[in-house]
Amino acid sequence: MTFTAGVKKGVLEVQEYFRLLGQIVRGLTSRPIYFRDIIEQFDAIGIGSMTVVLLTGTFTGMVLALQSGVTLDQFGARSMVGRLVSATMVKELGPVLTALMVTGRVGSGIAAELGSMMVTEQISALRALGTDPVRKLVVPRVLAGIVMVPILTVIANGVGMVGAWIITVTQLGVSGGVFWNSVVQGLYIQDVWMGLIKPFFLGFVIVTIGCHVGLRTSGGTQGVGRATTNAVVAGSVTVLAVDFLLTKLILTLLY
């Protein structure tokens, strides 16, 4: 593929992605609404991702406390571990790591599922029956992503704090009361808002990219494999880019 052809393909993908966003907005603001499908996606995306989010949050908090304790020891500030862990988890690591885990599990699953439906012409069958595939398949997943990713992020932050507390008490010799006081002192309301705002956008990006890649799948079973890989790669990179842009914007507006 020549450079010009690659640029044209990239521009086309961006154009199709924004066209899909327009269809999603139209599906969100008009009838019919498939409530059963929405509830099913809440379960698949939210409850289905709970285990990996719990494990990720717990071990992230543990290793963060362990590394922070070693570093802060050099300054005689071991008691400040809670402040460092709370600010880092709530503002940055909680939202980003949760989004990356959801991208790996949910983004790939959406791309594979919709891609399989594309190559087996099930999407065409839905259109032939008068059903809008975006309204039926994409909108429920987008709603589930917007609602469940913030909830999963809050859970990851909570278990991360508990994991950090366990390591701080058992490995660093800091009392639990000192740790939790440090956690409270290290968090400001702007930090909490930053940690709550980011997941809404990250969840939207993850699901829409997975749906876009899935609905653009072609080439049989090999195409489904490529779509799954592309969804994870594109979703992960976009999560990091959107996180940076949101951080810059929120720091400008709230701090």
| Mean pLDDT along residues 140-152 | 94
Q: Is the pLDDT of residue 59 over 90?
A: yes
% of the chain exceeding 90 in pLDDT:
52
**DSSP SS3 for 75:** coil
Q: How far apart are CA 217 and CA 163, in angstroms?
A: 41
What is the number of other CB atoms lying within 10 angstroms of the CB of residue 88?
19
Number of structural domains, the chain? 1
214 domain-assigned: yes
Q: Which residue has 């570093």 as its token pair?
A: 71
126 domain-assigned: yes
151 domain-assigned: yes
27 domain-assigned: no
pLDDT bucket at 191, cuts 50 / 70 / 90? confident
4 domain-assigned: no
Q: Which residue has the higher pLDDT, 145 or 218?
A: 145
pLDDT number for residue 172: 85
22 domain-assigned: no
104 domain-assigned: yes
Domain, as residue range, for 87: 33-254
Q: Is the pLDDT of residue 221 over 90?
A: no
102 domain-assigned: yes
pLDDT, tens only, 104-138: 999 999 999 999 999 888 988 988 888 888 999 99
In terms of Cα–Cα distance, which of 153, 240, 229 is closest to 205? 240
| This prediction's pTM | 0.90
Q: At what angle do helices 189-215 and 108-119 cross, to 10 degrees?
A: 20
Lowest-pLDDT range, 11-15, 35-39, 71-75, 202-206? 71-75
